[in-house]
């Protein structure tokens, strides 16, 4: 899927967010400024989160309250650090979004939705969804209807 503006990237996140349920985990891959947090803003919109969603780079984890809790993790600062944030303890109660999951791989659940975001131009993004597990395969099938 190609988005042509930040607003379209938010809308794509919102469309996915409307299908998510408590316990779902999304991992977002992409370079700096590729649109990972912008995509997460759309999920927050779908969850009726009123707070401004921004990158948790320095706090590592931000929790937003809405129809479901949104656990927004930026694992970038965890590089070469095997620090377990304990997502398995709170994951069942909300939606977990992990940016820079390559720095947190040993703690990821077996099933999740991978979202790869690539910057094509200043405004355009290519977003690829890769389901890991049958629940996420079904979610992606619903999105294509």
In 20-133, which residue ranges form alpha helices assigned H by DSSP?
36-46, 87-90
pLDDT tier, 89 (very low <50, low <70, confident <90, very high otherwise): confident
Coil, strand or helix at 9: helix
Give a three-class secondary structure readout of 68-98.
CEEEEEEHHHHCCCCCCCCHHHHHHHEEEEE
Q: What is the arithmetic mean of pLDDT over 100-123?
A: 89
20-54 pLDDT per residue, tens: 999 999 999 999 878 999 999 999 999 999 999 98
Q: What is the arithmetic mean of pLDDT over 88-102?
A: 84
Q: What superfamily would CATH give domain 2-143? A: P-loop containing nucleotide triphosphate hydrolases (3.40.50.300)
Q: What are the boundaries of each domain within the chain? A: 2-143
The DSSP symbol for 53 reads P
C-alpha distances (whole Å) from 2 to each of 36, 51, 90, 124 are 14, 27, 33, 7
Average pLDDT, the chain: 89
C-alpha distances (whole Å) from 66 to each of 23, 44, 86 are 14, 8, 21
Q: Which percentage of the chain shows pLDDT scores above 70?
A: 90
């Amino acid at each position: 899927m190609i988005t042509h503006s930040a607003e379209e990237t938010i809308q794509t996140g919102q469309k996915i967010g409307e299908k998510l349920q408590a316990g779902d985990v999304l991992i977002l891959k992409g370079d700096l400024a590729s649109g990972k947090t912008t995509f997460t803003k759309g999920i927050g919109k779908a969850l009726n989160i009123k707070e401004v969603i921004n990158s948790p780079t320095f706090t590592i984890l931000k929790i937003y309250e809405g129809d479901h809790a949104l656990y927004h993790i930026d694992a970038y600062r965890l590089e070469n650090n095997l620090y377990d944030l304990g997502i398995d303890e709170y994951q069942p109660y909300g939606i977990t979004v992990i940016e820079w999951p390559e720095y947190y791989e040993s703690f990821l659940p077996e099933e999740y939705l991978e979202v790869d975001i690539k910057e094509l131009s200043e405004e355009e993004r290519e977003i690829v969804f890769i389901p890991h597990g049958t629940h996420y395969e079904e979610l992606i099938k619903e999105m294509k209807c």
